[in-house]
Structure 1
Amino acid sequence: MERLKPLNDFIFKKTFGEDETKDNLIALLNAILSKKDIDKLVTLEIVENKQLTPELIEDKTGIIDVRAKIADGTQLEIEVQLTNQHNMDKRTLWYWGEIYSNGIKKGEDYKKLAKVITINILDFEYIKIPDKFHTTFHLWEDEVKDYMLTDVIEVHFIEVEKFKKLENKNLKEDKLQRWLSFFREDINKEELEELMDMDADIRKAEEKIKYLSSDPETLALYKARERSLHERANMISSAKEEGREEGREEGREEGANEKAIKLAKNFLKMGLTVKQVAEGSELPLEKVIELKKQMSN
């Protein structure tokens, strides 16, 4: 039986983002956040556990993320991204801001705003720091590097592709490295068995994936999601190529803003929402709304 890809976002959510699998998420988060001994997470609440309908699965522009909240109110958002859209920095801050601002109701005290941690698991290289597959960002003062303005923002990038290229891995002592090995779709049976012998948490997650692969309905949704992810990657690639081709036909070098507008128009023609177009083209949301109105007239 072919192993389901753990980084297919549908399978990732089924393995880590449901009430019955939250122990898997706790184990993964303890590895990512380097929680040890007394600081270890022991419980959390899965939030926004939206139903994974066929419509959502087949939505080429849909995002299936995992959201959780821990006892002190800290909110966590984990997203798997397989295709480099060259906007993950802005994209992750957008979603961080959305979650953070929704932390209180209108009129409530800002003191009630809780910390938000966003975690991006990327199947490509993105951060321009060689040989560092896990990077973490906070708000530090420019010159006094040890002064943090606030701890309410914490952003993680985990680059699986960089980890694969790491020459000296330390799976026995590094739990996060074990999880990243588990996420590899090309891992062989012997390597997987060795991982599971090292780590009971990984064995439990793999057992869940095996169970999912034996369910015909889950298997059908998985295949549908694989198709939609593939189509999404092609859609982005085609839109960018179309924009480049238009530039070549005009016979001149276009400014960055003009290129972004062309890209946004291509995305709008393909049916993406204005929010998704703003993220993909890196144009302000107001500009995308204006473009959509112009195209509708």
Structure 2
Amino acid sequence: MIFINPKTDYAFKKIFGSSESKDILISFLNALIYEGNSTIEDLEIINPNLPPKLEGLKDSYLDVKAQLSDGTLVIIEMQVLNVQSFGKRVLYNAAKTYAFQLEAAQGYRLLKPVIALTITDFEMFANSEEFISRFVFKEVNKNFTYPENDLDLVFVELPKFTKGEEELETLADKWIYFMKNARSLTSIPEAMDSIPEIHEAFNIANQAKLSREEVADLDRREQFIYDQQGAIMKAALEAREQGIEQGIEQGIEQGIEQGIEQGIEQGMREQAIAIARQLLSRLDDETISQTTGLSLEDVRNLREAKLSRRESSGDS
């Protein structure tokens, strides 16, 4: 058996956000948000698109969105690339989902809690070894929870999960193992096959059930992600090395400590520019700006410079 990669956007939506995914999503959310308890008994999978209701407001798209039987909204996102300001985007989407519940003149009492579940294929919190982290509003000194604690951010960092098949104990372990390893498996692990919802998730992820066009499209999406990851890692490494070299050179003239600091700052900008140049042929200017932290003007200037070089080369 060959399984599609649940970390790609298409596969993630197909497994957790399709019309046949209700029981799968209930089990998945109970595992990752409620420690395997059957807290969620029912939910409705709804259109995750969040169109802007005000002119000029930034649009956003979530992988899967559901409403629980008590009205709580859950937004679920799978993120493969560690783009610039991703943490802010998670908070923005959660706050936007919370605010857009109300129509004009409706009272705040009608607001329902929002839970943002984010699964990342990279590490977000270097100061923690836990692979599941949860954030709520709390008082700084006394550590008590805000009375109307309606925003709940839950993160699952896949690289921090290192358990093997024989070490899987909890429902969360098994779902995270599925997310991280399904693509490389050739059969359903015995420890997971006894859970009906995970068995069905594997069933949906079975590549044999897809058309040739769907498989080809998935392969292209997956390769695109790998190419982006490779481009970013290569550019970051080269820029970091360049930044250190520049820091040492400036340190000779201005003092070691000051020179290294300035060189690293310059290297960070060079890193962002190097990454942006490699993404010009793949992404639009706004996405490149968000990914690298460069201004839109910087990205446009890079694109114009690239076009000018092409034209000059063509003329010659």
* TM-score normalised according to structure 2 size: 0.71
CA contact (8 A) 2:131 2:158 kept: yes
Measured in 2, the distance between the counterparts of 1:275 and 1:101 equals 25
1:180 Cα shift? 1.4
CA contact (8 A) 1:17 1:49 kept: no
Q: 2:37 corresponds to which letter in structure 1?
A: K
Q: 2:79 corresponds to which letter in structure 1?
A: Q
Measured in 1, the distance between the counterparts of 2:20 and 2:83 equals 32
Closer, same or farther: CA 256–102 of 1 in aligned 2, 3 Å:
farther
Q: 1:224 corresponds to which letter in structure 2?
A: R
1:194 Cα shift? 2.9
CA contact (8 A) 2:188 2:202 kept: no
Aligned counterparts, 1:206-221, within 5 A: 206-210=202-206, 213-221=209-217
Matched, 1:281 2:298: no
Closer, same or farther: CA 17–107 of 1 in aligned 2, 3 Å:
same
1:136 Cα shift? 0.5
Residue 59 of structure 1 corresponds to: none
* Total equivalences in the alignment: 278
1:240 Cα shift? 3.2
Residue 268 of structure 2 corresponds to: 259
Measured in 2, the distance between the counterparts of 1:94 and 1:276 equals 16
Closer, same or farther: CA 105–242 of 1 in aligned 2, 3 Å:
farther
Matched, 1:65 2:74: no
1:239 Cα shift? 4.4
Residue 114 of structure 1 corresponds to: 112
CA contact (8 A) 1:10 1:64 kept: no
Closer, same or farther: CA 2–227 of 1 in aligned 2, 3 Å:
same
Closer, same or farther: CA 237–129 of 1 in aligned 2, 3 Å:
closer
Residue 135 of structure 2 corresponds to: 137
CA contact (8 A) 2:239 2:271 kept: yes
1:92 Cα shift? 1.7
Where structure 2 has 5 or more consecutive residues not aligned to the other structure, the ranges are 51-59, 251-261, 306-316
What SS does the corresponding residue of 1:132 show, helix, strand or coil?
coil
CA deviation vs aligned residue, 1:145-186 (integer Å, no higher than 9, x gap): 123253221111112222225899452xx2111111222247
Residue 233 of structure 1 corresponds to: 229
Larger radius of gyration: 2
CA contact (8 A) 1:115 1:152 kept: yes
Residue 57 of structure 1 corresponds to: none
What SS does the corresponding residue of 1:148 show, helix, strand or coil?
coil
1:131 Cα shift? 4.0
Q: Compute the RMSD of aligned alpha carbons.
A: 3.7
Q: Percent identity?
A: 24
Residue 100 of structure 1 corresponds to: 98
Closer, same or farther: CA 128–22 of 1 in aligned 2, 3 Å:
same
Measured in 1, the distance between the counterparts of 2:74 and 2:199 equals 24
* TM-score normalised according to structure 1 size: 0.75
Q: 2:204 corresponds to which letter in structure 1?
A: K
Closer, same or farther: CA 148–232 of 1 in aligned 2, 3 Å:
same
What SS does the corresponding residue of 1:44 show, helix, strand or coil?
strand
